[in-house]
Amino acid sequence: MSTLNDDVAMLRKVPLFESVEPSKLKLIAYTSSQLMFDDGEEVFSQGSNGTSAYLIVNGEADILSDSGGHQVVVAVHGTNALFGEISAFCDVPRTASVRARGQLTLLELKRENLLELIQEFPDVAIEVIRELAKRLALTTSDLANVLDKQNGKKPH
């Protein structure tokens, strides 16, 4: 189990939170919950409603997309990676499923705390936009490569 200072240090490593003052990061860390998942356990499923983003404290998570009636791993995220932020920020259904790859420890960041952060630190909103755009581009590219492999084409 990590301490509050450990959680703040971890948040500081996430590009989204680099410019946020330590006292605000401490508040975010304090209002967050630490969750643990066993290998193969689902964190959330594609299409579900989401009100939180997650930061990987320890371990890895498979990011899966539904394709042709089955799930395809489109990415693997490790320690200090943030995921689930699209639903948390945009109030849309989850765009992918996430499953633990081995033992996984997460810090759950609630939507209301993230939105307060954006209101207080407008620079964070710019980082959110950049991160969401980057994620969309990477996910689209990864999914295209997976589909190309399935169809016997060379990846992009």
104-138 confidence digits (pLDDT tens)? 999 998 999 888 877 887 777 787 777 778 877 87
If DSSP states are collapsed to H, E and C, what string results for 76-119?
EECCCCEECHHHHHHCCCCCCEEEEEEEEEEEEEEHHHHHHHHH
Instruction: Quick: pLDDT tens for 66-102.
Output: 878 889 898 899 988 889 988 888 889 998 999 999 9
Lowest mean pLDDT among 2-16, 55-69, 72-86: 2-16
Looking at residues 46-57, what average pLDDT do you find? Answer: 92
Of 102, 32, 93, nearest to 61 (Cα)? 102
pLDDT above 80: residue 40: yes
CATH T-level topology, domain 4-150: Jelly Rolls (2.60.120)
What's the pLDDT band for 2 if we cut at 50, 70, 90?
A: confident
Domain range annotation of the chain: 4-150
**Angle between helices 111-120 and 122-150 in degrees, nearest 10:** 130
